[in-house]
Structure 1
Amino acid sequence: MSNKVYGYSELEGLSDTELLATLQSSWGYKDDNFEVWGEVTLFKDREWGHLKNPRMLASNNLLSYPLTGVNGPCEFWINPADAKKYGDQRGARFIKCKLTLSRPKEREKHRIPFMMSVLPGSCSSLEKLPASIPHDIVTADDVSYFIANEIYHFYQQQAATKIEQEFATKQSMFEQQLTEALAEKQSAELKRDNAIKLVESLNSMRKKTEQSIALLETDNELKQKQLQITLENFKKIEVEMNHKILRLKKYVSDKALFLKTFEFLDQEDLDNFLVESKSASQDVDGVVFREQLNGDYSKAISYIQSHLIEKDILYPRHIIENYLTLLRTKDLIILAGESGSGKTNLVKSFAKAVGGKAVIIPVKPNWTSSEDLLGYYNPLEKKYLATPFLDALLEAQLNPETPYFICLDEMNLARVEYYFADFLSLLESRDEAPEISLYSADESAHVLSELKAVVEIIQDSKEKYGQDGVVNFIALLKDEAINNQLRQAFGFSDKNSLIKYHSEVRRMLFAAMSMPSSIVMPANVHIIGAINIDETTHYLSPKILDRAHIMRFESPLLSDWDAILREVKEYEFDDVSRPLLFETEALGIRQNYPKFDRENEFCQLFIALNKEFLHKLGVEFGMRTIRQGLNYLHLFKDANDDRERAINNFILHKVLPKLTFDGNKTVGQQTKLELIEKVFLQRIKQEVPTYADIPDVFSAVVALEHVVNNAKSNDGIVNFWS
């Protein structure tokens, strides 16, 4: 297996045979039989499919093209017939197949001379998992499928082995009998009869074994169905346990007339509580991303930039492609810059450009806990006191087709780690939507218990004194006999007010009806922070920097407006007046970060940077940050295939914001500031050789030079934010 990476020019002019031989050597195949296995992915709007994360069938090595500029695992096209056959079957999401060179036009289009695709007709279901696979490739459902197949093959193999053993025994006996018969000169007829009987016996035994295998397979299918039914029942039980408020809803529904008559709730509150919530989204006239633009993110960025310019909002293309990519990561995005640099305006204008809604939440300097962000339950009033942030989440839940961009404006006026840490921990959940617990679900049960008691006491008092014609609570209290009966039943003295107690029960009931005990983070919500750095604000802690992407802004007066207008002229859209409409999934899916792979070029780069520079500088840089980078690079390719630009952006987002320390401290024979200026800066220039073509505002090299110059004029204190 060769580790050589080829340049495009080295491969030009090679024949198909020579290209195949090059791949055979690079990937470690012993012959030209390129057998692989991987995961089938179907395009929603196309007939073709992809084979993702392909691995060698023999060694299980992950395949990537040994070509400069082409990073990450290969993805091979699957023709429509095979894609439809295997991509739509539950048990055949993973297949094994053979590869062949793609058509010359495809190879030339993608600038990959040895680009390969799946050989038509070579696909088959992957019946058994390889001995060692990445744990995050296969889901729980996939594992259960392969376990079922393993059970089937285990018993099938046992049965086949038993047949072979018994067949061998019988065959040996037959040969012995035949030898003895020849030795004793038995007649040919007797030998033939014995042989026929033996064959018939073996055929009978084989048939019985095949029947047993068929029964085992049927039993296996039944067990899988039973398992599915059990899982569905568990889900139902979980829903019932997590929604105790349904009991309150049923009781309110049964007693609706009584509760309205005695003014415990209004008709409007009753309708809102009992009628299932419907999306308040309105149909928006716009350009559909999947249909008109064929799901092309590069075209989407061009359209959005053109749409904004038509609204007299000028942003360079780089900002739009970077911001859209960061939104798709579903990580926390923090926009940093001086006041008036266009941070919140980007949130608002982008939201309108994609038919979404921006909600700006001003952060107060006195915020000290998660209650300031999400609100809290008041046990005295028996109600939850919500905040604008929580109201925005609840509104987004009612409008699942509309993207919501919730921006915490001036996020660092208070210490972010105080009020946002709990919520940030929830956002770290990548394999499922995080659930935000607001208060104990048992509170609704307490409300129901007290409400039942009040209703029964009033009904008993009415029936005892024959007041069926009473039409409201005040009229009930005017009846002296009933009034005394109610006071006695409630244990009230003359000083206690029944009217006040009625009001308390009414407020308590409304609070339980209007606020759920927990809320699942809506998939259509994106959380963004906007910060200013001055003497009135707090620096972001390492915990926040480790989990967020910092996108820095400069004054729009520094932008080259003519260059922006020239960019847009090249797009040649006929009409950009309507917003561009994305499906929720197209704007980002919360899923696990790519697996850390020591052989990956990006991982190797940041392992080296961490050992050579960041660790020596005292900058925390962990494996999770590298996996975030892998995710960013993977998504950025959809918008721009410039890998150096992606690395430049990632250094700006995740590395440079952590440079805050005393540069006068020594590391070996030099100071930290000298290590940055003389070594680290030069290394970044090597990794981003096209840094001179990147505008200064968005260049990691220029930003690092700025850090060095500021430190020299500030007694050696290194501070990215100054």
Structure 2
Amino acid sequence: MSSNFRDKLNRIMNQYLPAKREPFGGHPLGSFVRNEVTAEINNLPFTDPSNYVVTGSVGQGNWASVPWIAIMNRKITTSTQRGYYIVYLFSEDMESVYLTLAQGVTETSKEEMLRINAQIRKSIPASSKVKKDEHIFLGDSKKARDYALSTAVYIHYAADQLPEESVIISDLQEMIHIYENYISINNARIPYTPNVEKEKVVEREKTYLPSIHLIEHIYSYIKSKGFYYPKEEVINLFLSLKTKPFVILSGISGTGKTKMVQWFAESLGANETNGQFTLIPVRPDWSDGSDLLGYVDIKGEFKEGPLTKAIKAAIDHPDLPYFVLLDEMNLARVEYYFSDILSVMESRRWEDGKVVSSTLLLKEVAKEDIALPNNLYVIGTVNMDETTHPFSKKVLDRANTIEFNRVELDNLTFLQDLQDVDPVEIGQRQLSSKYLHLKDLYLVDPKIIEQVTGELVKINRSLQLINAHIGYRVRDEICFYLAYNKEGELMSFKKAFDHCILQKILPRLSGSDSRIDQLLRELYVIFTNTEYQDVEESRVDEQNVLYPKSALKVVEMLRRLRADGFTSFWIS
């Protein structure tokens, strides 16, 4: 596997001092360190994002005197303020960069820091090339001195004598194993095995693309098939799946909901031929999970359902994403046949750095305990008409509901120059969730939580009018969606939050009395900063309002209430 990490380190050292003379906000070097450099590390075969958090920083609000790139084992820490982790530290004069095993200086006392440093140094074989002395020099500032004090071991690189790429990668791999060895000693687990560079796990690695480039690929692939969806819709589906592996696509028949999912999966190397994509048509007579998961026949043998087969395939290949499309999902009552899966999905938790769930099928039934794997993504398509069933809040709270009603029949420009685009086989880590609980995100980015919560509190005050206010689950998942959006620099906060309102809050609203009318009017004010006018067709200035998509939906629901005496997100 090729990499160009050396070039990225070199670019930081060459450009950082000139960049410090320029405004901090929005500077491209900041994005480069936070996204491209961390993606390069994530793409290495020994830094699986399910085990490691990789972050980079050039400062918060102002340029840092010592920029850094940290690699943290999730079992130890997800914040550079605490615990011990691997970190590249750049000297203030940009003449040196140090690959170090260091500790968080914010929440660690000097005594504790020195004690752990001594333990780490004792754990390292004499043959190792890492330095165990106090000669690291980052600069004269207090921050530089604190970072130097926190360093247990290091490898020094001079800016004008950076070694070859292979040496830099080999050094990082050795430092990873020193790190893991110390973790295992502290927890009485696996002993250290030096020189594991010879362990070749590259064969299971797939292409890794930064989120913005991955979105561009998916968008181009779908367009090459002769289907048009705005790029924002592709971003939204990607973020929704990353937030939680259960998404509902709703809308009128013929808008291409099924094709959207098929081409999305196929663009990432998942298709029916290789078993990574499974289409399951839902039947109206499903009243429990047996048609989906399987059942025990009269002979006492377990007959696997189509979803169980997909689950077992995903379990056998945990490094690949698997997609299941439940077509016409609400032809039967979702709560009847899907409740077990929903419950188990909510049980996901971290264990030894991996996401695990409760048991879905017991050994007594299926001859083996079967849990819900983290690499399985379930997407349901639904039409809302007289032949289908509505959703309960239990289902809506557990999914992002994406509405596909926007149709541009006269938009044919995308057909003029269709180029073939090949699928890109990605690994599971591109889609996997980093955050399961709000605390996971709080350790990384508390500001996004505060920003999202502030907006939700205002909306929730109005929702209480009809007891439709959201709970902790919805809040957490909206926070995760906005965090992934921010990390990938995919949409503005306002655009992303607009999608969240439309997908997680408005689908829960329905009614026929004055309270729903008052609620919708209050929401309109929040979304547009203007009062709703009782005119035949209230218009929304999409360029200047806060949340235009949500505002348009509220206008539509108020129009229905006025015309029919009842309104719902779902009525078409």
Where do residues 65-144 of structure 1 align in structure 2 (5 Å cutoff)? 65=61, 78=67, 92-93=84-85, 125-126=102-103, 130=107
Q: Which residue of 2 aligns with 1:325?
A: 239
* Structure 1 residue 644: Cα displacement: 1.4
Where do residues 235-634 of structure 1 align in structure 2 (5 Å cutoff)? 289-290=207-208, 295-357=209-271, 358-378=277-297, 380-400=298-318, 402-428=320-346, 429-431=348-350, 432-441=355-364, 516-554=367-405, 556=407, 558=408, 561-562=411-412, 576-589=420-433, 591-595=435-439, 600-611=450-461, 613-634=462-483
* Native 8 Å contact 1:352 1:579 kept in 2: yes
- For 1:655, which of 499, 502, 505 is the aligned residue? 505
Partner of 1:550, secondary structure, is strand
Q: Give, in whole Å, the separation in 1 of the partners of 2:519 and 2:410.
A: 34
The amino acid of 2:244's aligned partner reads: K
Q: Which residue of 1 aligns with 2:495?
A: 645
Q: Give, in whole Å, the separation in 1 of the partners of 2:220 and 2:87.
A: 43
* Native 8 Å contact 1:372 1:387 kept in 2: yes
Change (3 A) 1:305 1:650: same
Change (3 A) 1:656 1:226: closer
* Native 8 Å contact 2:251 2:405 kept in 1: yes
Change (3 A) 1:376 1:76: farther
Instruction: Report whether the alignment pairs 1:228 with 2:226.
Output: no
Please give the per-residue CA displacement for 1:1-23, whole angstroms capped at 9, x wherever unaligned.
Answer: xxxxxxxxxxxxxx979989x9x
Change (3 A) 1:224 1:592: same
CA RMSD of superposed structures (Å) = 5.0
Q: Give, in whole Å, the separation in 2 of the partners of 1:317 and 1:707.
A: 26
- For 1:704, which of 548, 551, 554 is the aligned residue? 554
Please give the per-residue CA displacement for 1:320-370, whole angstroms capped at 9, x wherever unaligned.
Answer: 111122222233100111222211111112222221023121222222223
* Native 8 Å contact 1:334 1:528 kept in 2: yes
Q: How many residues align?
A: 432
* Native 8 Å contact 1:333 1:551 kept in 2: yes
Partner of 1:333, secondary structure, is strand
* Native 8 Å contact 1:50 1:78 kept in 2: no
Q: Which residue of 1 aligns with 2:140?
A: none
Q: Give, in whole Å, the separation in 2 of the partners of 1:18 and 1:554.
A: 45
Give the structure-2-normalised TM-score.
0.63
* Native 8 Å contact 1:367 1:414 kept in 2: yes
Please give the per-residue CA displacement for 1:182-221, whole angstroms capped at 9, x wherever unaligned.
Answer: xxxxxxxxxxxxxxxxxxxxxxxxxxxxxxxxxxxxxxx9
Please give the per-residue CA displacement for 1:526-555, whole angstroms capped at 9, x wherever unaligned.
Answer: 111111111222111111111110001116
Q: Which runs of 5+ in 2 are unaligned?
A: 1-18, 26-37, 78-82, 121-180, 193-202, 272-276, 531-539
Q: Which runs of 5+ in 1 are unaligned?
A: 1-14, 23-39, 55-62, 67-73, 104-118, 133-144, 154-220, 233-281, 444-514, 570-574, 666-671
Partner of 2:402, secondary structure, is strand
* Native 8 Å contact 1:41 1:50 kept in 2: no
- The structure whose Rg is larger is 1
Q: Which residue of 1 aligns with 2:523?
A: 680
Q: Give, in whole Å, the separation in 2 of the partners of 1:222 and 1:648.
A: 45
Q: Give, in whole Å, the separation in 1 of the partners of 2:90 and 2:294.
A: 57
Q: Give, in whole Å, the separation in 1 of the partners of 2:550 and 2:409.
A: 17
Give the structure-1-normalised TM-score.
0.51
The amino acid of 2:371's aligned partner reads: V
Please give the per-residue CA displacement for 1:261-298, whole angstroms capped at 9, x wherever unaligned.
Answer: xxxxxxxxxxxxxxxxxxxxx999xxx742xxxx2322
* Structure 1 residue 228: Cα displacement: 2.2
Please give the per-residue CA displacement for 1:617-649, whole angstroms capped at 9, x wherever unaligned.
Answer: 321301221111111112223162322110111
Q: Give, in whole Å, the separation in 2 of the partners of 1:386 and 1:680.
A: 47
* Native 8 Å contact 1:303 1:576 kept in 2: no
Q: Give, in whole Å, the separation in 2 of the partners of 1:346 and 1:616.
A: 37
Change (3 A) 1:658 1:65: farther
* Structure 1 residue 681: Cα displacement: 0.5
Change (3 A) 1:531 1:85: closer
Change (3 A) 1:309 1:77: farther
Q: Give, in whole Å, the separation in 2 of the partners of 1:316 and 1:542.
A: 29
* Structure 1 residue 226: Cα displacement: 8.4
Q: Give, in whole Å, the separation in 2 of the partners of 1:226 and 1:297.
A: 36
Q: Give, in whole Å, the separation in 2 of the partners of 1:324 and 1:704.
A: 25
Partner of 2:285, secondary structure, is coil
* Structure 1 residue 417: Cα displacement: 1.5
Please give the per-residue CA displacement for 1:474-522, whole angstroms capped at 9, x wherever unaligned.
Answer: xxxxxxxxxxxxxxxxxxxxxxxxxxxxxxxxxxxxxxxxx64222333
* Structure 1 residue 315: Cα displacement: 1.8
Q: Give, in whole Å, the separation in 1 of the partners of 2:186 and 2:368.
A: 33
Change (3 A) 1:701 1:402: same
* Native 8 Å contact 2:55 2:71 kept in 1: no
Please give the per-residue CA displacement for 1:438-497, whole angstroms capped at 9, x wherever unaligned.
Answer: 2335x8xxxxxxxxxxxxxxxxxxxxxxxxxxxxxxxxxxxxxxxxxxxxxxxxxxxxxx
Partner of 1:581, secondary structure, is coil
Q: Give, in whole Å, the separation in 1 of the partners of 2:316 and 2:284.
A: 31
More helix by share: 1
Q: Give, in whole Å, the separation in 1 of the partners of 2:190 and 2:73.
A: 27
